[in-house]
Amino acid sequence: MAEIPEVVAHRGASAHRAEHTRSAYELALEQGADALECDVRVTRDGHLVCVHDRRIDRTSSGRGVVSALTVAAMAEVDFGRSAAEYGVLTLDELLGMACASARPTRLFVETKHPVRYGGLVEHKLVALLARHGLAAPDDPRDSQVFMMSFAPAAIRRFKEAAPRVPTVLLFSRYTGARRGGVLPPWADLAGPDVRLLREDPGFVSRAAALGRDTYCWTVDAHADIDLCRSAGVRYLATNSPEGTRLHLADPDSAHFGSVTG
């Protein structure tokens, strides 16, 4: 039987709590996630915050572009969904949560592009990792942090500054030689959309033959979880870490309300 993938909580346990909130990540840790995933952007006052969209309108009670807002301004905004949760989550806080976890917990950090401040997000990320002692792991295989992006230039920029931190090239379509598992030299892992694996599960083994593990997103349906496991996916990003973890442990049992069937 194929090795069980590591379960990555996509924006926290975002099927159950508002995405990118402290409570979403706290729940993910309670649910036994092996790793946490977040998107980061730079605020007007130079902080890295965990927000997916260019604007905060969809995910909060406020309005505005992240790069034009300060952390102090966003402290007054409700980012919760069913329960009030004020203040944007900073990456510094999330790193602290991961490092303080009772279990070893990896963090997958996606830098968003295009953005107003260009490559500043990668430079800020390297500096923050350095402050936490995470920018130069002795062995990249033991790194607590992975950097990710859809932008090859962003990954290259980060890799030049922090060569020992693993990187993931995210993509939702095949281009050039990528279908064969070929990645740029500065990308350590392949990061395909699960829809690509539905069409071509053999991609994972082709990438593995070239020394590249696979991080697959975003995987919630039982059939997709089974597909990722049988294909040999190393890291599986899901909105429901507990339900996904339980299904991986016992595919024949029903886990009501945890993941989609």
Looking at residue 260, its pLDDT comes to 45
Neighbours of 208 (CB within 10 A): 17
pTM comes to: 0.95
CA Rg value for the chain:
18
Q: Backbone phi, then psi, for 141, in 5-degree steps? A: -65, -20
Domains and CATH numbers, the chain: 6-249 (3.20.20.190)
Contact 260, 222 (CB under 8 A): yes
Which residue type is seen at 218? T
52 is catalytic: yes
User: Could you give the C-alpha distances from 109 to 8, 144, 164, 192, in angstroms and in order?
Assistant: 11, 11, 15, 16
Q: CA 21, CA 59: separation in Å to the nearest integer?
A: 10
Centroid of chain to Cα 224: 18
Looking at residue 59, its pLDDT comes to 97
User: Of residues 20, 52, 222, 247, which has the active-site annotation?
Assistant: 52
User: Of residues 10, 20, 47, 247, which has the active-site annotation?
Assistant: 10
User: Could you give the C-alpha distances from 161 to 19, 119, 173, 186, in angstroms and in order?
Assistant: 29, 12, 28, 11
Mean pLDDT by 10 residues, the chain (261 residues): 90 98 98 98 97 97 97 97 90 97 95 89 98 97 97 97 98 96 98 98 98 98 98 98 97 60 40
Q: CA 179, CA 170: separation in Å to the nearest integer?
A: 13
